[in-house]
Chains A and B, each alone.
Chain A
């Protein structure tokens, strides 16, 4: 139970992210069947069956995630507030969860029933899933305009599911289409639905932004505002991909067009899931409008972002606090923590010492130098005149070793805390996983670049890992108390994450798009550019 308590914050975001993803796939599939594949005939039976199979799987996964969330939250409440099961059973999140589970299982049963003639019977339970999701959204806890915000939230989530969830079903329907003409019809119908969804999504998002962010200074001055701004930028990227798809869908020619559309669709779904995960992370942050103190001013931002020479000399390890865990517990007991609110298992935050800040800046700046070098070599490799530059992925091995040694100085091998003990700390675990990801990335991409691996799957590992690591940055370290330092750190992490996502998916598109597509060549230059920019941003990262 103590371990469950320790990771409760993590679990709640994990379940929320998974729930939103599976909810989008379930609802998106039902909308797709009813409004895009609606004129399906006996020729398109394969499309129906494939879509129904994936709707059933997504609905079951949604029910499992909801059940896990209810169980974890119920156990936490029973343990931390000394309640009985019957005390907890009437809570709003339990009722919402049960509604979602019942609706999802109903959909799974309907999708599996061969006797079902019409797909419209799945629409009411899909609406109930949306209702249950709204019941555990920010809207339900607000003091003012509760009903209006609940309706807008439902529209926002419904439009997301229709667009991104539906897009997935379009991608699996195209290969099942009896002929090219039929596939083009599906694409044309989905384009119209996607256009409407995007308009609803944008309007609802704008309204929610007004309600939860409230002012311009809250956009750059709070963690919530920065995350919303990042979501908007990613939404813009999705719109760009959607526009390219729309253009392709309405162009005259055949085979290569559908191939391009599928590839853009893959990137769109990947970035869409990142946006959904960002949204899940947002639900665990206090809305910016509620945080009136500790907002960061434009002067503080410009002072922090003003370019300076990188810090290439590190403070000694003896200058760091001996044991940061002990220091945090001590600060918590003394009531001197900077956060008055925290989730179960989290002790609050302790301001970093100057030595810790210097240590972190040194880490970021050396990492920046390595990433700039990687980006420049990748650029040279793309020109084909410098074949030796194709070995650029090996530089990632140096980066991984550097991160492993320096990211957590209080742990093995530099610090007194043993390797296994500190893996229980979520932040250390995160850094260790990150170091492993970088090693995997280095090996696979080096083999790809030097021609040792030619399979398409291996070539996609680099872009996928870059995209995953960037999604990780978007969900990295939030503070309930909205400490200024936390906001300033997120202000520098958010552009890094966006550039990483663009780098990952542009490399993906370079590998996947047909060579005759005009965008293909642009993608080949976009991702090395993003890598160089990421390195430059890291070189200017500062904590004081």
Chain B
């Protein structure tokens, strides 16, 4: 093996091992800045407007909002097209009082996928 090859082999082996060891660096950088309803809030039903604002541009076409109902059944929420680049907007209708969760998954413009949940309570109007 020539000297150059040895150096590169060493360098790439180092990089490969270091990267292999980065097992705990899970992460992505789209984070939820604010939401309506907010986490652990109570809102009056039965129609709930939903907005989620993130710190970065979101690919809304490839992002998802799901409503988890008190009986653990789920319902996909249609995402509006006219929201600002950092916001997902939707609406849930006909919700009786109870504990709900909004599950969100977003694809940021830089290709990172992030997800999370917003637990909230629906009360009588």
Contact = CB atoms under 8 A, between A and B. Distances in A.
A277 B31 contact: no
A472 B118 contact: no
Interface residues of A, number: 82
Interface of B: 2-4, 7-8, 10-12, 14-33, 39-40, 55-57, 59, 61-64, 85-86, 101, 105, 107-119
B50 to A, nearest CB: 15
Max count, chain A CB within 10 A of own CB: residue among B21, B33, B40, B118: B21
B117 A92 contact: no
A9 B29 CA distance: 11
A273 B15 contact: yes
B58 to A, nearest CB: 8
Given A81-B64, A172-B8, A472-B22, A290 B33 contact: yes
Given A54-B8, A92-B59, A430 B26 contact: no
Contacts of B8: 54, 168, 172
B71 to A, nearest CB: 15
A284 B23 contact: no
Contacts of A73: 111, 113
Contacts of A471: 18, 21
A145 B110 CA distance: 15
B26 A343 contact: yes
Interface of B is mostly: mixed
Contacts of A92: 59, 109-111
Given A83-B62, A343-B28, A140 B110 contact: yes
Nearest to B17: A468
Contacts of A88: 62
A87 interface: yes
A215 B86 CA distance: 23
A18 B3 CA distance: 23
B110 A138 contact: yes
Given A168-B11, A478-B25, A341 B32 contact: yes
Contacts of A12: 28, 112
A236 interface: no
Contact of A91 (B7, B31, B59, B116): B59
